[in-house]
Amino acid sequence: MRHPHEEDLALYASGDLGYFHRRGVESHLGACPRCRQEVEEFRRLRRDLSSLEEIPEVPWARLAAEMKANIHVGLEAGACVPDDVSVWLPAGRTWFAYAGLLALLWLAFWIERPGPGSPPGSDNDGVVLAATGNGIELKQAGSSLSLMHGRARDVTLTVSTQGAMRARYVDSDTGQVTINNVYVQ
C-alpha cells in the first residue's frame, strides 16, 4: 500500500488540499488506520497552536543591530585583501584542462578515422567492400564481385562497422523488392 506524503496529510487535516487530491487521500484514509491517526495528530496540533494567545515579542531592534555589525565585519575583512591579488593559477589550470581535452578528442578522432580498407593484420586483409552507383562491390587481390541493382528505384544502403553492407531496392520493371546482404570475414 502506498501512503500519501506527510505534507498531503497535513494539508488534508487543515482543509487546504485540492479537490481531486483530497478525494484520493480520503479513499486511502478509509483503508489505512495509521494515516487516519496521523491526520488526527495534525488536527490536534492545529487546535493546540490556535489556542496560543499571541506570539512572544521579538527584539527587532537588537536583531537589526547584529545584522549591521555582521555586514561591517564582512566589509572590513574584504578590505584586508589587497586588490592586486592574482588568480591566474586557476585560469591557467582551466586552459590546460581545455587543451588536454582538445588533444584527447583529436587523438580519438585520429585513431578512429576511416581508412582505405581494413587495418593491416586483420582477418580480412586486402578486402574492400564499397557501395557504387550501380550496387555493392567486393574487391580482393585484384578480383571483384559486384551485386548490381541496375535501373532500380528506392535503393537503401545500410553499412555496419563489422564489415557488412546491405542493399534493399525495388526493381523498376517488375516492382519486386530485392535485398542483398554482403559480409566480410
Instruction: Say how many domains are in the chain.
Output: 2
Taking each helix axis as running N to C, give the angle between helix 33-50 and helix 6-14, from 0 to 180 degrees, rounded to the nearest 10: 60
Domain that holds residue 10: 6-50
In a domain, 100, yes or no: no
- Report the C-alpha gap between 33 and 153 in whole angstroms: 71
% of the chain beyond a pLDDT of 90:
11
115 falls within a domain: no
Q: Is 163 among the domain residues?
A: yes
d(CA 73, CA 64): 14
- 86 within domain boundaries: no
Cell 576511416 belongs to residue: 114
* pLDDT tens track for 19-68: 888 899 999 999 999 999 999 999 998 888 777 766 667 788 888 888 88
For the CA atoms of 79, 84, 90, 91, what is the dihedral angle to 10 degrees?
130
| pLDDT tens-place string over residues 105-142 | 888 888 877 655 545 445 556 788 787 777 778 888 88
This model's pTM is above 0.85: no
Residue 131 lies in a domain: yes
Residue 85 lies in a domain: no
Q: What is the pLDDT of residue 26?
A: 92
pLDDT at 78 over 90: no
Q: Is the dihedral of CA 91, 94, 99, 102 positive or negative?
A: negative
Calculate the alpha carbon distances from 185 to 56, 91, 115, 168 in Å: 86, 51, 18, 21
